[in-house]
Structure 1
Amino acid sequence: AITPCFLCENCLRGYTSQCTDMLGGWKFANVKDGNMAEYFHVNSAQANLAPIPDSLTDEQALYCTDMMSTGFMGAEHANIPIGGTVVIFAQGPVGLMATVGAKLLGAGLIIAVETVPHRQELAKRFGADVVVDFKTQDPVEAILDSTGGQGVDSAIEALGLQASFESCIKATRPGGTISNIGYHGDGEFVKIPRAAWGVGMSDKTIRTGLCPGGAERMKRLMRLLETGRVDPTPLTTHRFNFNEVEKAFHMMKTKEDGMLKPLILFD
């Protein structure tokens, strides 16, 4: 998660994910090494560290720091009305947690777009009512069919591809919200399809964000784990000892053996 300073202007205005502290909020593994050392210095620790309740395992708590926080932010930013319709592209770890977040916020119809069978099954387990395989169906047509031609109230983009971003725009009804949590790292521009945008007059809102952090955020997420409302551990598909960390990273990069999320143990 982002480790904001809670003192800069952006933090004080409520935009902690855009912290402008000297190192910025996005410190670990980017501008600060040593994440897997036995001891590690945490910036602004008093504002970012939260004690793990005895009732939770380390594996459960680990998911609060990114997958849950980012996925839930995607749902929070999507302005999902109670009983509303929402689509999530796609169902990787963050997308699956966005599906959980949409369910927690009271979505009436949750559509998950995914092609990998194991991820499709997890999407259903986590609350998806409809799963669309984008390799066998046109996702926009399938979404429109599921919503009586109206489009969804909310779309969550958790893939970071131009094609999925455009599909979100096309599948969202006028006045709806597109919540982007995917990382768009390729190309100079992210393009908006003109017609689906209503040539600028469809009143569709785009929200973006970066994994929220802070002690209070972590406490709230762990509360969901304690009460049993959320169980993210099915995301863990592989376990490794610390001396296998390079193998774990390689498999995570290549998605070998159907890997979704690896757990590295320090036993």
Structure 2
Amino acid sequence: MKAFVLIEPGKAGWYDAPEPTVTPYGAILRPIAVTPCSSDVHTVYGGGSRKAPNLILGHECVAEVLETGELVCDFAPGDLVVVPAITPDWRALGIQEGNFKHASAPFSGHQLGRSVPGVFAEKFLIPDADTTLAKIPEGITLEQALMCVDVVTTGFTGAESADIKIGDTLVVLGIGPIGLMAVEGARHLGAARILAVGSRPVCVKLAREFGATEVLSYKDGNVTDQVMERTGGLGADGVIICGGGDEVFAQAVDMARYGIGTISNVNYYGGTGSLPFPKFSGGRGMAGKTIHTELAKGGRVRMERLLKMVQYGRINPEKLVTHCLYGLDQVETALQLMKEKPEDLIKVMVRIDWK
């Protein structure tokens, strides 16, 4: 079958891959709509851990069920479903410890397109359909459903991990698609004041629509100084890191309040080495600032809850889709768009009509 794969570090392309075989609890699906992620860009062009030869890429997908295993209860061929980007093995022992993202190994929750074949193919396997997939309620568009599988859940995870209380002041560093959903999530959790940091006009506009009360730009000077000035020297109750290089980690510590400030990181930092931790704003180790480093939440129940947020008009994630391409062969073009990030791009959807 036709599949878009990592050929070698720095090179992706098309490959004639073997078709998947259904497992007792699993389902074979074909993609209906997909979108490449910045993580796919990192996988191809950013190095990182060694990947299997000709690994099929992709982890953001709306799909049609083609075949189910004999032990699948809740899904049948023809069902239209969302496939969450995070797909833990819900039978791993670590799940019983509440370790939903790294239960059996580091990043074991993030398997698709990383340690197992992804969704950029004519068919793909989800090993445990009943715990992973979620049916799409009537009236929800492909764009809305597709955005829920990764960017909504990741942005909301960032907000949830920021320990937001009613009336808090939040900073969101980076307002790409993840940061925009972090803004939305922070608003829903009760943040009164949300300072979003970014400069691309298309993102600035949406940040304000989604709940940002102010938008700051690195182009206007040191962001930490801007935050401290606007908060009367106190800093923010919470800082959600959704983008940027290694330096943003230290900036987040700098601008979080002493004693109660929480830093929530859902940003990916490439390469090896260490992230900077500022001694002074870190209180020389005694600042009372909490740091959470989080992978997104996944699974069927998470997807069903996010789809309800769309169904009842609480969020409008379809606004993130700025570009739409047609046909599986356009995945390659879509990946390049995500790599190059033109000024008018937030997310690109590839729609696949099988005929």
Normalised by the shorter chain, which TM-score bucket?
over 0.9
2:22 alignment partner in structure 1: none
**2:193 equivalent in structure 1:** 109
How is 1:129-208 mapped onto 2 (pairs within 5 angstroms)? 129-174=213-258, 175-208=260-293
Distance in 2, matches of 1:90 and 1:106, equals 20
Structure 1: how far apart are the matches of 2:333 and 2:89?
A: 34
For 1:87 and 1:34, the matched residues in 2 are separated by 33
Contact 2:174–2:244 (CA under 8 A) maintained in structure 1:
no
Q: 1:36 offset after TM fit, Å?
A: 2.6
Alignment partner of 1:228: what SS? coil
Instruction: Kindly provide the amino acid, as one letter, of the partner of residue 162 in structure 2.
Output: A
Aligned partner of 1:236: which letter?
V
Query: Using the alignment, how far apart are the partners of 1:22 and 1:206 within structure 2?
Result: 19
2:299 aligned with 1:214: yes
Q: Which runs of 5+ in 2 are unaligned?
A: 1-84
Once residues 162 and 245 of structure 1 are traced to their aligned partners in structure 2, the CA distance between those partners, rounded to angstroms, is: 29
Bigger shift: 30-39 or 170-179? 30-39
Q: Which residue number corresponds to residue 250 of structure 1?
A: 336
Partner of 2:44: none
Name the structure 1 match of 2:176: 92
Q: Is the 8 A contact 1:23 1:31 kept in 2?
A: no
Deviates further, 95-104 or 182-191: 182-191
* Equivalent residue letter for 1:245: V
Cα distance between partner residues in 2 of 1:160 and 1:183? 9
Q: Could you list the per-position Cα deviations for residues 88-135 of structure 1 after superposition, in whole angstroms to 9, with x for gaps in the alignment?
A: 001010011000000000101000000212211111111100100111
Structure 1 residue ranges (4+ consecutive) displaced by more than 4 angstroms after TM superposition? none
SS of structure 2 residue aligned to 1:99 = helix
1:14 matches 2:98: yes
Is 1:260 aligned to 2:346, yes or no? yes
Query: Is 45-54 or 253-262 further displaced after alignment?
Result: 253-262
| Alignment coverage as a number of residue pairs | 267
Once the two structures are TM-superposed, the CA of residue 31 in structure 1 deviates from its matched residue by 2.0
Distance 1:76 1:23, change over 3 A: closer
Structure 1 residue 163: Cα displacement: 1.4
Specify the structure having the higher radius of gyration (Cα).
2
Say what the alpha-carbon RMSD is for the aligned residues: 1.6
Q: Matched residues in 2 for 1:196 and 1:160: separation?
A: 20
Q: Secondary structure at the match of 2:263?
A: strand
- Answer whether contact 1:81 1:106 (CA < 8 A) is retained: yes
Between stretches 43-52 and 189-198, larger displacement belongs to 43-52
More strand by share: 2
Query: Is residue 120–residue 331 contact of structure 2 (8 Å, CA) maintained in 1?
Result: no
Q: Relative to structure 2, which stretch is displaced further, 102-111 or 161-170?
A: 161-170
Structure with bigger helix share is 1
> Secondary structure in 1 aligned to 2:144?
helix
1:123 equivalenced with 2:207 (yes/no): yes
Moved more, 73-82 or 37-46: 37-46
Check conservation: 1:4, 1:44, Cα contact below 8 A: no
